[in-house]
């Protein structure tokens, strides 16, 4: 993530949300994922100076709904060559709300915590930070929607309290290639905007994804309401399309 009066930006791209809600299963489950993307975008802002990213992680989900995971990506911060890698460690619990669920509808909740780590950056930069999050999701047929709130007591680069509100939706179609359409909108609020490097802002995205021979292909458009003069690095806040190839195992 990049930020501060001379620094700005941050994490989890293709999934769009950090902290992964893992569906309940009758057995424990270990899974992994790897992604090649044309850019790494976190909450609407590029983390790689519009350059490509290699990302991947592992998740463990218990039958009780408890999960833990680790995820990483390369970085490129314009004002520093020190932060070249981001590693995120997270854990939480996700379960269905039986009273609101049925054979055709599933309502679930998810709460957890996430630590963002930038191991190559000097401690004096104060890049590392923690977030807690909570969310609700609805899945009915091909349609899914979710709302999530993430809060950090001291956000990236010592910018003090931060809260991010996000709403996501997706729709799996029966068209040829079975494409899934997705969209999301979020609001980033930070207590110390000077340290963060921008005022509070809104970001949004629209995406299209398909699976071919066990590989996921996606194309997503990202944008924010930040003006050029409000962004620490003008290019990183511009609207962009991101192409990604992902494989889960």
Q: Which residue has the higher pLDDT, 83 or 200?
A: 200
pLDDT digits (tens, 9 = 90+) for 194-228: 999 899 999 999 999 999 999 999 999 999 999 98
What's the whole-number mean pLDDT along residues 116-122? 92
d(CA 210, CA 107): 25
Distance between CA atoms of 57 and 46, rounded to whole angstroms?
20
Instruction: List, for residues 30-76, the tens digit of each pLDDT value.
Output: 999 999 999 999 999 999 999 999 999 999 999 999 999 999 999 99
Domains of the chain: 2-248 (2.40.160.40)
- Which candidate, 147, 82, 157, places its Cα nearest to that of 116? 157
Please answer whether residues 89 and 117 qualify as being in contact, where contact means their C-beta atoms are separated by less than 8 angstroms: yes
Q: Which residue has the higher pLDDT, 51 or 82?
A: 51
Neighbours of 130 (CB within 10 A): 15
**Over 80: is that where the pLDDT of 238 sits?**
yes
* Cβ-defined contacts of 100-106 (< 8 Å, 24+): 104/140, 104/141, 105/138, 105/139, 105/140, 106/138, 106/139, 106/140
Looking at the predicted structure, is the pLDDT value of residue 91 above 70?
yes
**Looking at per-residue confidence, does 11 or 153 come out higher?**
153
Task: Give phi and psi for 194, each to the nearest 5.
Answer: -65, -45
**Predicted confidence band of residue 231 (pLDDT cuts 50, 70, 90):** confident
- Residue 12 is predicted with a pLDDT of 36
């Amino acid at each position: 993530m990049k930020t501060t009066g001379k620094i700005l930006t941050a994490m989890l791209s293709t999934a769009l949300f950090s902290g992964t809600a893992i569906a309940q299963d009758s057995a424990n489950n270990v899974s992994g994922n790897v992604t090649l993307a044309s850019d790494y975008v976190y909450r609407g802002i590029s983390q790689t100076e519009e350059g490509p990213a290699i990302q991947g992680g592992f998740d463990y989900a218990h039958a009780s709904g408890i999960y833990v995971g680790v995820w990483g990506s390369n970085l490129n911060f314009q004002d520093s060559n020190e932060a070249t890698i981001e590693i995120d460690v997270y854990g939480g619990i996700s379960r269905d709300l039986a009273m609101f669920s049925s054979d055709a509808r599933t309502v679930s909740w998810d709460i957890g915590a996430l630590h963002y780590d930038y191991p190559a950056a000097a401690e004096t930069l104060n890049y590392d930070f923690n977030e807690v999050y909570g969310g609700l999701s609805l899945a009915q047929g091909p349609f899914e929607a979710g709302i999530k709130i993430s809060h950090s007591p001291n956000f990236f680069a010592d910018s003090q309290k931060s809260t991010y509100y996000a709403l996501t939706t997706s729709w799996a179609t029966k068209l040829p290639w079975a494409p899934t359409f997705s969209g999301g909108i979020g609001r980033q609020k930070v207590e110390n905007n000077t340290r963060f490097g921008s005022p509070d802002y809104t970001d949004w995205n629209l995406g299209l994804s398909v699976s071919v021979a066990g590989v996921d292909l996606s194309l997503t458009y990202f944008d924010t309401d930040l003006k050029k003069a409000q962004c620490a690095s003008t290019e990183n806040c511009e609207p962009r399309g991101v192409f990604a190839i992902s494989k889960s195992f």
